[in-house]
Amino acid sequence: MLLAGLLALSGAGIARAEAAPGRVVSINLCTDQLAMILAAPGQLVSVSHLAADPRSSVMVEQARGYAINHSQAEEIYLMKPDLVLAGTFTSIATVSMLRRLGIEVITFPPASALSDVRQGMLDMGAALHREAQAQALLAEFDAGLAALQQTQPATLSAVTYAANGYTPGSHSLSGEIIRAAGFRHLADDLGMQSGGVLPLELLLMAQPDLVITGEPYPGGSRAEEILHHPALAALQAGQAAVEDRDWVCGLPSVLSAIDGLAQARAALEAAR
């Protein structure tokens, strides 16, 4: 009887360990959105305030259905989660405190390639015990990507250009988006596979066919002054692509970024 009781308790422990988390809180923009896509009804209880910001989130309307948090350990603890989703670079102090309080925290790295986007779906499915839903989402993503990817040799060049003249380089998620849309990445021509500062003079001399810039936040910023330089404005004349929220996270929405960029490429080719 004692052995049977121990076995029963052991079995119950295994069942609890394998049970899907019932109260999930996300404190990172990218995990917010991926969890909103994959979580079961009622499973996700809170997302970060960034998920409700239309400048950074593609799921603003969906975010309004959840409690908003500001990624502070105290407020998260009071929500009594049994799982917290965070990014690799989410506040170390918050993540450390939550773990010391006995709360499970799973961290997700930022996507630096389209393969990371695929893996992120699978990892989130595993974290939420929603593997079947993740596989279905992945199949849909793969089909959409196959339909969008260009097979013709790239004749036009493109590059992303951000505050302080920073470019992520060709070995990045934005680099793969650019190539999937049928552009040649200017960073490859310049030997900038990794991210770094691209001097405005060098950018102007290279004469890329498309310069992709972000949508600036309201207010003034010395770091963004370079994006308003008259020479850059002249180079961008007639160009339409703007790097925005579809590029921020490794989500299925990167397909929208590829599609928009492919349309910009088609327009540039037609204008030649």
Query: Do 54 and 31 reside in the same domain of the chain?
Result: yes
Residue 161 and residue 140 in one domain? no
In the chain, which residues have pLDDT < 50? 1-17
CA–CA dist 207, 62 (Å, integer)? 41
Model pLDDT, residue 223? 87
Say what the pLDDT of residue 150 is: 79
What is each CA distance from 184 to 107, 152, 173, 176, 207, in whole angstroms? 33, 11, 14, 10, 13
Burial class (CB in 10 A: 0-12, 13-18, 19+), 193: middle
The verdict on 119 and 169 lying in the same domain is no
The answer on 56 and 128 residing in a single domain is yes
CATH value at residue 100: 3.40.50.1980
What is the per-residue burial (b if ≥16 Cβ within 10 Å, else e) of 32-62? bbbbbbbbeeebbbbbbebbbeeebbbbeeb
pLDDT at position 67, please?
Answer: 97
Contact 90, 67 (CB under 8 A): no
Fill in the DSSP letter of residue 234: H
Assess whether 169 and 88 both reside in one domain.
Answer: no
Q: What is the pLDDT of residue 234?
A: 92
CA distance 31 to 24: 11
**80 lies in the same domain as 53:** yes
Using alpha carbons only, what angle is made at residue 166 by residues 178 and 239, rounded to the nearest 5 degrees?
A: 50
Count of structural domains within the chain: 2
- Tokens 């992709």 locate to 212
Q: What is the pLDDT of residue 267?
A: 92
Last residue of one domain, picked from the residues 124, 145, 166: 145
In a domain, 9, yes or no: no
Q: Is residue 129 part of a domain?
A: yes
CA distance 181 to 267: 13
Whether 64 is in a domain gets the answer yes
Range of the domain at 162: 157-271
Please indicate, yes or no, if residue 111 is contained in any of the structural domains: yes
Q: Is residue 12 part of a domain?
A: no
Q: Is residue 1 part of a domain?
A: no
